[in-house]
Amino acid sequence: MSDLVSLSATALRAAVLQGEVSVREIVEAHLSRIAALDPRLHAYLGVDEAGARQRADALDAARRRREPAGPLFGVPVALKDNLCVRGWETTCGSRILEGFRPPYDATAVARLREAGAVFLGRTNLDEFAMGSSTENSAFGPTRNPWDLSRAPGGSSGGSAAAVAARLAAIALGSDTGGSIRQPAALCGVVGVKPTYGRVSRYGLVAFGSSLDQIGPLARTVEDAAVALSVLAGSDPHDSTSVADPVPDYAEALARGVEGLRFGLAREYLPPDLDPEVRGALERCVARLRAEGASVEEISLPHTPHAIPTYYLVATSEASSNLARYDGVKYGPREGGDRDLRTMYAATRGRGFGPEVKRRIFLGTFALSSGYVEAYYGRALRVRSLLRRDFDEAFRGVDLVLGPTSPFPAFRLGEKVDDPFQMYLCDVFTVTANLVGLPAVSVPAGFTSDRHAAPGLPIGLQVIGPPLAEAGCLRAAAAIERTCGVRGRAPALAPAG
C-alpha cells in the first residue's frame, strides 16, 4: 500500500487485519517520515526505533498465529514526555529530570499497549506541561507543521504537531488548562479532554492534580473515539478514577446532531475574537442548524474570572507537586555536598526553566501563611461559581459550543516574553478543567486569503456535562463531516 502515513488509525488496523500490509511496513513508513521531517519540526524528544521495530515484528507474529487483535492493533502512537514508560527517559521537557527512567508504565500507556499500539517515541512539551506554545521546553521549541515560523500551541505541542505532520497516527497528551485542545486547534487535529477521572492519571507526572487529564490527539474523530474507549475506565492505582462503565464512543458518531441543543456562550464571543475564528464558528452554527440541531445563546457569567482562578489553583498545586524535585531522588544534582540548602537551590535553580520558576513562586505565595485564604481560598470559591454556571446552562442545553483558541497559530517568540498574553491563549479552555467537564476540539476551517497568515487551522470546542464524552464526540463528528476539512495535510518537504 502507498502512503501509509496518511491513513487513519482505524484504516491502518483494518489494512493489517485484511493482510494488505504488515505492522512492520507501517512502522517503517512512519520512522522514515520522522527521520525526514522531524529535524525541522522537533515534535519528538526521542524516537525508539529499535523498540518500535521489535514490537511490530511481535505483532506481525501474533497476527500469523491468528491471536485476537486489539482495537489499536498495529497503530503507531506517540507519547507526551510526561507519561511514564518503563525504561524510557521521561524528562517532562525539563533539565531537572534528565536521565530519569521510570520502572513502570502509566496506566494509559499500559492500556494502549494491551490494545496493540506501537510506541514510536516521546513528544516535546512545555516544561512540566506549563505553557501554551511548547517554547518553554528545555530542549527547544516545536514548530507548527502548517507554518514553521509559528507555534504549535502547548503544552502538548509535540503530540499535536506529530499527528498533524503524519509522524504518528495517534498521540497522547495531557490537559491541565487546555493543553490538548489548544494545540489540537492550532495544528488542525482532534483533541479530547475527558471528564476528570474518566482516564486514570497513574503514571502522569503531576502538574495540577485536581486539573490534569490524559487524552488522545488524532486526525479523525473516529480515531479519537476509539482511543478514548481504550484509555477510559477505573483504575485501582488512581483513587480519583471513575468507576462508571465505558461506552463504545465510536458507536455514537453516526447518529448526527438532529435534536441536540447547543448553547453558544456570549462570553466566548468577545469583541476582539479573531474574525476568522468568529467566521468559522458562525459557519459551523449554520451547518449544525441545517442538520437539525438547535443553537441558542446562553451566558456563563463568571467566565471573566476563569483565567485568574485557574492560575491560582494550578500554580498552587504545581508548587506542592514540584517540591519533590530537589536533586535527592530525581535527575542531576548540582551544588556539591557542602550543605542541603545550597544543593537544593543550585539544583532547582539550574534544573527549572523561567516559566516553571514563575509558577512555583506564584503558587508558593498563594499558599503562604497570611495569604492562603485571600488567594487560594477565594479561587476555590470562584471555582464553585464556575461550576454552577455550567450546571445552570446544562439545564437548558445538551452541549456548549465555542472557539477553542481566540486566534490561530501565532509566531514563535511573539508571546513568550509576555506571560499575561500567553496565559490568555487558554481563555476558552481553562474552565472545563476547573469544573472537570469533558471537551473536544475539532478542526472547523482554515484562515482565508484575507488573513495575515492564510491556511492556518481553526478549531472549535464542544463542552459537555460530566461523562458526556459520547455526546461531545457525536457533535464533533458532525462538525468534521460538514466543515469539509478532514484529510487536508500540511505541505512539508524533507529536511535538506
Q: Is 80 a catalytic residue?
A: yes
For residues 125 and 159, what is the distance between their CA atoms, to the nearest angstrom? Answer: 8
Q: Give Cα separations from 155 to 123, 129, 395 (angstroms).
A: 11, 5, 33
Q: Within 13 Å of residue 234, how many CA atoms lie on the same side as its CB? A: 6
Q: Is 369 a catalytic residue?
A: no
* Residue 67 confidence (pLDDT): 97
Q: Give Cα separations from 273 to 7, 98, 163, 197, 406 (angstroms).
A: 34, 40, 27, 32, 6
Confidence of residue 496 (pLDDT cuts 50, 70, 90): very low
Report phi then psi at 487, rounded to 5. 95, -15
Average pLDDT over residues 67-84: 98
* Residue 177 confidence (pLDDT): 98
Q: What is the pLDDT of residues 453-471, one digit of tens each?
A: 899 999 999 999 999 999 9
Per DSSP, helices labelled H in 80-120 are 107-114
In the set 8, 22, 80, 316, the catalytic residue is: 80
Average pLDDT over residues 236-263: 96
Residue 345 lies in a domain: no
- Which amino acid, one-letter code, is at 238? D
Give the 3-state DSSP-derived string for 356-409, with helices as H, strands as E and coil as C: HHHHHHHHHHHCCCCCCHHHHHHHHHHHHHHHHHHHHHCCCCCEEEEECCCCCC
SS3 75: coil
Q: What is the pLDDT of residues 97-151, one digit of tens each?
A: 999 999 999 999 999 999 999 999 999 999 999 999 999 999 999 999 999 999 9
Residue 373 lies in a domain: no
For residues 259 and 491, what is the distance between their CA atoms, to the nearest angstrom? Answer: 39
Average pLDDT over residues 61-74: 97
* Contact call for residues 23 and 61 (beta carbons, < 8 A): no
**pTM of the predicted model as reported, rounded to 2 decimal places:** 0.96
> Would the pLDDT of 2 be above 60?
no
Distance, first Cα to last Cα, the chain: 26
> Would the pLDDT of 489 be above 70?
yes
Nearest to 190 by CA among 231, 228, 147: 228
For residues 358 and 363, what is the distance between their CA atoms, to the nearest angstrom? Answer: 9
In the set 132, 179, 405, 441, the catalytic residue is: 179
Report phi then psi at 4, rounded to 5. -60, -30
Average pLDDT over residues 172-189: 98
Residue 344 lies in a domain: no
| Rounded percentage of the chain residues whose pLDDT exceeds 70 | 98
Q: Within 13 Å of residue 283, how many CA atoms lie on the same side as its CB? A: 19
Average pLDDT over residues 289-293: 97
For residues 277 and 27, what is the distance between their CA atoms, to the nearest angstrom? Answer: 36
| Rounded percentage of the chain residues whose pLDDT exceeds 90 | 89
Nearest to 126 by CA among 205, 38, 193: 205
Q: Is 155 a catalytic residue?
A: yes
> Would the pLDDT of 493 be above 70?
no
* Residue 331 confidence (pLDDT): 74
* Contact call for residues 413 and 132 (beta carbons, < 8 A): no
Number of structural domains (the chain) is 1
Lowest model confidence (mean pLDDT) among 114-118, 301-305, 480-484: 480-484
Residues 6+ apart with CB under 8 A from 36: 494, 495
In which residue are the cell numbers 487546555 written?
A: 178
Residue 295 lies in a domain: yes
Q: Is the peptide bond before 155 cis (omega within 30 degrees of 0)?
A: yes
* Residue 411 confidence (pLDDT): 97
Nearest to 168 by CA among 298, 315, 9: 9
Q: What is the pLDDT of residues 116-126, one digit of tens each?
A: 999 999 999 99
- Boundaries of domain holding 263: 7-300+391-483
Strand order from edge to edge, sheet including 399-403: 44-47, 118-123, 76-80, 170-175, 213-218, 190-193, 439-446, 457-463, 399-403, 261-265, 294-298
SS3 94: coil
Residue 329 lies in a domain: no
Confidence of residue 1 (pLDDT cuts 50, 70, 90): very low
Sign, CA dihedral 123-128-129-134, equals negative
In the set 22, 132, 133, 155, the catalytic residue is: 155
Q: What is the pLDDT of residues 196-229, one digit of tens each?
A: 999 999 999 999 999 999 999 999 999 999 999 9
Which residues is 298 bridged to in the sheet? 265
Residue 408 lies in a domain: yes
* Contact call for residues 494 and 312 (beta carbons, < 8 A): no
Q: What is the pLDDT of residues 318-363, one digit of tens each?
A: 999 999 998 887 778 887 667 888 888 889 999 999 999 999 999 9
* Contact call for residues 177 and 430 (beta carbons, < 8 A): yes
In which residue are the cell numbers 535553580 written?
A: 349
Residue 311 lies in a domain: no
For residues 190 and 443, what is the distance between their CA atoms, to the nearest angstrom? Answer: 7
Confidence of residue 65 (pLDDT cuts 50, 70, 90): very high
Residue 340 lies in a domain: no
CATH (domain of 26): 3.90.1300.10
Please give the mean pLDDT across all residues of the chain. 95
SS3 125: coil
Sign, CA dihedral 252-216-227-199, equals negative
* Residue 354 confidence (pLDDT): 95
